[in-house]
Amino acid sequence: MAGNIAVVTDSIANLPPEMIAQYKIEIVPIMLLIRGKIYRDGVDISPTEAYQMFLKDPDQFNTSPSSPGHYLEAYREAAKRARNIFCVTLSSKLSTGYQMALVAKEEARKEFPGIRIEVMDSQSATASEGFVALAAAQAADKGKSLYEVVKLAEEVREKVTFIAFLDTIRHVYRTGRIPKIASQIGAMLNVRPLLTISSGAVRFKGVVKSREQGMSRLIGILGDKAGNDPVHVAVMHAFAPEEAEKLKERVSVAAVCSELFITEFSPVMGYATGTGTLGLAFYND
């Protein structure tokens, strides 16, 4: 595939391993700091293993953004098989990844000047970011030009929706957006917030009182936006595989799915959301 296009994204895009392998997507891992040891998300530790460690000692669990060096390493790997590199990052309003990718791009120009690199802010996170990268990788796999790949990624970025509900609000204070005492009170009241992403930032979209009510709200929002059109859907979960299977089944009944798969939230997200979180990322054909 030399001379074609390689796609790079980060581990928060929540792409399943089989899709990463199929489309040869280079993944920049976010760093997890657990009990004083650094792990590369999805490389040194799986999401399931990380959540198990998180549950044992949440206060000994932290995260660190990727550096320019991590992006440069991904570019090096991509440059071994492609003349063009397209990098899709987590929203610049949620992380420094976009800026780090740009810094790495300048370094890469010096190291391999014959390679062209384009960097896109997905203005999203989780599998909604993943869908942008996946659409680009699928287009590249079909032999599309870099211009066509970027254009398609932009179209998916404008259409994709993320919606999730937290099983607990106890850990949300870690984002710095909610005081710890408010998180504790919310947990005592058994409030489960609904979250979405709009204009690159996480937005509050209401609350539910139970997991069943949360699933119903997710299905309702999917139905309202998708209508009768075919839709690409990713069912996401944080250490809740059985619940994710139930949600996937409900999605398959409620919508006409041209693509439907389950993936785990990166533990980087679980750091703030806690385990049990369920969500959907989707866009219409």
pLDDT tens by residue, the chain, 285 residues: 345 999 999 999 999 999 999 999 999 999 999 988 999 999 999 999 998 998 888 888 888 889 999 999 999 999 999 999 999 999 999 899 999 999 999 999 999 999 999 999 999 999 999 999 999 999 999 999 999 999 999 999 999 999 999 886 654 544 554 444 344 444 545 678 888 999 998 888 888 989 999 999 999 999 999 989 999 999 999 999 999 999 999 999 999 999 999 999 998 877 777 788 999 999 998
- The overall longest dimension of the chain from CA atoms, in Å, is 58
229: tokens are 């059109």
Q: Of 55, 75, 59, which is closest to residue 10 (Cα–Cα)?
A: 75
Q: Which amino acid makes up residue 175? A: T
CATH topology of domain 161-284: Hypothetical Protein Tm841; Chain: A;domain 3 (3.30.1180)
Tokens describing residue 156: 């998916």
Cα separation of 146 and 115, whole Å?
Answer: 12
* Type and span of the H or E element at 120: strand 116-121
Rounded Cα–Cα distance for residues 141 and 1 (Å): 9
pLDDT of residue 206: 85
Contact criterion met (CB below 8 Å) for 43 and 29: yes
- The residues of the chain that CATH labels 3.40.50.10440 are 4-30+65-158
Q: What CATH homologous superfamily does 4-30+65-158 map to?
A: Dihydroxyacetone kinase; domain 1 (3.40.50.10440)
The 10 Å CB-count burial string (b at 16+, else e) for 198-223 is eebebeebebbeebeebbebbbebbe
- Name the burial class of residue 283, with classes exposed (0-12), middle (13-18) and buried (19+) by CB atoms within 10 angstroms of its CB: buried
DSSP alpha helix (H) spans, the chain: 17-22, 47-56, 68-79, 97-111, 126-141, 146-159, 180-188, 211-226, 241-254, 267-273
CA distance 36 to 89: 27
Q: In this predicted structure, what is the pLDDT of residue 285?
A: 85
Q: Where in the chain is the domain with CATH 3.30.1180.10?
A: 161-284
